Structure 1
Amino acid sequence: MTNFEKITQSPEALGEFLSSLPVLEGPWDEEFQRNYCAGCGRVNCDAGRGCPYKKQRNSPAWWLRLEAKTDAGQ
């Protein structure tokens, strides 16, 4: 099995690989902010403390399951 085959076996496998990369922010962070934080009245939820959406926060696997946006839909 190649590394590509291993990390693309499932959304979970790819999500785990993506979350292991040393990046400050990914496209999943922007989408999380748009979907959850924009309408949330809570403050000081940094690092997920007190965040009611901890499971989706910093989760490439969550983001991978979203419908892809087309250039016209953005």
Structure 2
Amino acid sequence: MSTIRELLTELTGTSEYAEKLSDDTPLAASGIDSGDLVRLILLIEQRTGVEITAGDMEHLSTIADYERFLTDRAGSGAQPGSA
């Protein structure tokens, strides 16, 4: 299970939500609300140490988007708080 799917499972308390989504399904269109999206961002930051800015969030809508973002940040060696 991908990092984002694991965090969605933690967020929703069930794996069913994360498992039924394709990698390219927009999260906002899948029933998750804006508060849950904010909580997802916070979980990502806490668990991975990768900072996600408001500008970054404009480009993140699917599980695949989030996974690519994390992979890119990990590959670039970006540290929290670095811009």
Common fold by TM > 0.5: no
Structure in which a larger fraction of residues adopt helix: 2
Instruction: Return the TM-score normalized by structure 2.
Output: 0.29
Higher relative contact order (CA 8 A, sep 6+): 1
Instruction: Return the TM-score normalized by structure 1.
Output: 0.31
